[in-house]
Amino acid sequence: MIEAEEAAAAADAQQKAEAARDAARHGRKLSGRKPKDPAAALARARADHQAALARAEAKQAERAAKVAAAHAAGRSLGGFAPGRDRALERAEAALAAAQQAAQTAPGALRQVNVTDPDSRIMKTPHGWVQGYNAQAIATEHQIVLACDVSQDANDVLLYEPMMTALADTLAAAGITATAALALADAGYWSEANATAPGPERLIATLKDHKQRRAARDRGQTSGPPPDGAAPADAMEHRLRTAAGAAAYAQRSRTIEPVFADRKHNRGIRSFRRRGLAAAKSEWALIHLAGNMLKLRQHRAAPVVCV
């Protein structure tokens, strides 16, 4: 089990390193937090240095072209000649520090949970637990249309797989209509998720209370986002329109009651079975029962005549 996890971690690190090198070759600065693992941090530092070097060389080439054009026109180019690129200096210093850290770092000690080897350490509002990341997509009537259980603690990587699961569910049920609007909290925010194929979406770029405060401070917008706006700016613009704010407000009253019902009303706070496959099937059964109860209550609701 540990050997398989190490192999998977090495493959994932290799894939990320290749993506970082590809971005660096084009001079693109990498976003996101620096990895904590010394080997991954070294790979990131190398990519950052390569990107900084590519940007510095591009600036030098641009400057040389301007000088040549000025000389050809019989004039001198004004301004100061560029000195040492400070961004490149910082990247070189960071690379040297990462190399030193990688050389002196002790070997990684991997452990496995013998009760449920498939589970992972997850952060919750109440601390750290050994468990899984349970996902669900619900309609405005709190009917769950797709659900899954993941070993990944980060929601941002689960947006597209869950939208794929939703499409598969609708297709299996013979439903040709597609979702009109997807609503997701800030845990799912990324430029990739904001621009991925699929239905229209509103994904918060900040936690809900910060999003509301930003809306109050920055005021309401109207119309479509400005042309050429970055994905984050475009999303924030849409969230601060009257229609966007009203639509996003439906998220908390749509999906949050589903999880509240499972946890508080029905007392389901842990999986009874062990293993990822078993947790997936148990989570699906939980929502099947919840959907059936919801539909029964809807059909049994009394008709009030006035």
- The strand pair at 127-131 and 200-203 is best described as unpaired
How many whole angstroms separate alpha carbon 244 and alpha carbon 226?
A: 15
Residue 41 near residue 16, CB atoms below 8 Å = no
One domain for residues 171 and 199: yes
Take residue 133 and report the two structure tokens written for it. 């990341």
Q: Is residue 113 part of a domain?
A: no
Cβ contacts of residue 158 below 8 Å, gap of 6+? 133, 135, 148, 150, 152, 188
How many whole angstroms separate alpha carbon 61 and alpha carbon 69?
A: 12
One domain for residues 190 and 216: yes
One domain for residues 169 and 294: yes
Q: Is residue 262 part of a domain?
A: yes
Q: Is residue 51 part of a domain?
A: yes
Give the residue numbers spanning the domain of 274.
Answer: 120-300
Helical H runs in the chain? 2-25, 38-72, 86-104, 159-172, 191-195, 208-218, 231-239, 242-254, 256-260, 276-300
One domain for residues 159 and 289: yes
Q: Is residue 112 part of a domain?
A: no
One domain for residues 134 and 95: no
Q: Give the pTM.
A: 0.65
Give me the number of domains the chain comprises.
Answer: 2
CA R_g for the chain? 25
Name the burial class of residue 15, with classes exposed (0-12), middle (13-18) and buried (19+) by CB atoms within 10 angstroms of its CB. Answer: exposed
The amino acid at residue 150 is: S
Take residue 167 and report the two structure tokens written for it. 């499409």
Residue 162 near residue 134, CB atoms below 8 Å = no
Q: Is residue 240 part of a domain?
A: yes
One domain for residues 230 and 268: yes
Backbone angles phi, psi at 230, to 5 degrees: -65, 155
One domain for residues 99 and 128: no
- Tens digit of each residue's pLDDT, the chain (306 residues): 555 555 655 566 566 656 655 655 555 556 566 777 787 788 888 888 888 888 888 788 887 888 788 778 777 766 666 667 788 888 888 889 888 888 887 755 566 677 888 999 888 888 888 999 999 999 999 999 999 999 998 899 999 999 999 999 999 999 988 889 999 999 999 999 999 999 999 999 988 777 777 777 778 888 999 998 889 999 999 999 999 999 999 999 999 999 999 999 999 999 999 999 999 999 999 999 999 999 888 776 665 555
Torsion, Cα of 12, 15, 21, 27 (10° steps): -90
Q: Is residue 109 part of a domain?
A: no
Domain-ending residue, one of 104, 129, 156: 104
One domain for residues 71 and 210: no
pLDDT single digits (tens) 14-30:
666 566 556 555 555 56
Q: Is residue 89 part of a domain?
A: yes
Residue 150 near residue 132, CB atoms below 8 Å = yes
Domain-ending residue, one of 56, 72, 104: 104
Q: Using alpha carbons, select from 201, 243, 248 the residue that is nearest to residue 220.
A: 243
One domain for residues 221 and 142: yes
Q: Is residue 96 part of a domain?
A: yes
